[in-house]
Amino acid sequence: MALLRPSPLSPTDAAAERLGVVDFYRLLLRLVLAVPMFFYQAMSQTSQAWGFVWEKREWPLVKAIEEMALPQPSVTAISLIFILLFCPIGVAVGFLTRVNAALTLLATGFFFISGLPLSDWLSGQTYLLFMGLCAVLVLSGPGAFSIDGIFFFLRRRRQMRKASTL
């Protein structure tokens, strides 16, 4: 409960909280979310989006969004696929994990509620699984084995140096 602790951590407390089994589980959780989403969902739609933008080919996702009467169907489809392509990469490496997981949660929730065809691999249970993994990452954060964890460690180290010189 670092948020409730009134004083900064001592060096021994910081070393004890830095790494643990929970950090390995968070790394595993990030990879379990990002790798399947990237390869099975985002890559197929990305190639279709590329063909839609540059080669003016048909894209079933845009047609489905048009049928729902949502505004700017091409912009909506490209934005959703952009989110589902780059946010899992950010989650996998642990860069802005909470933000990327929240955006992935919103995009996946949109596809779950609307029933739009994202992939042949997705079913309602898979959507719920992805949304649950995203929710856990939003609430728990990335852990120490991430870019965010490295930034946190460096910031904590700089604060401790500053406190020791005073």
- Within a domain: residue 26? yes
pLDDT of res. 1: 47
- Within a domain: residue 8? no
3-state helix, strand, coil in the chain (%, to 5): 75, 0, 25
Domain count, the chain: 1
Residue that is written with structure tokens 């063909």 in the block:
51
Tens-place pLDDT, residues 72-89: 988 988 898 889 889 999
Question: What gap in Å lies between CA 156 and CA 77, rounded to an integer?
Answer: 41
Q: Which of 120, 140, 147, 105 is nearest to 61 (CA)?
A: 120
pLDDT of res. 102: 95
- Within a domain: residue 14? no
pLDDT of res. 17: 57
Per-residue pLDDT in tens (0 to 9) along the chain, 166 residues: 454 444 455 554 554 455 678 888 888 999 998 888 887 777 778 888 888 888 888 888 888 888 888 889 889 888 988 898 899 999 999 899 999 999 999 998 998 898 887 777 777 788 888 899 999 999 988 888 888 888 888 888 888 888 887 7
- Within a domain: residue 157? yes
The Cβ-side half-sphere exposure at 125, using a 13 Å CA radius, reads 1
pLDDT of res. 18: 59
- 94 — alpha (psi -120 to 50), left (phi > 0) or beta? left
pLDDT of res. 101: 93
Q: Which residue range(s) make up the domain with 117?
A: 21-165
- Within a domain: residue 4? no
Q: Answer yes or no: are the C-beta atoms of 149 and 93 closer than 8 Å.
A: no
- Within a domain: residue 151? yes
- Within a domain: residue 105? yes
How many helices and strands, by DSSP H and E, does the chain display?
A: 8, 0
pTM, full prediction: 0.79
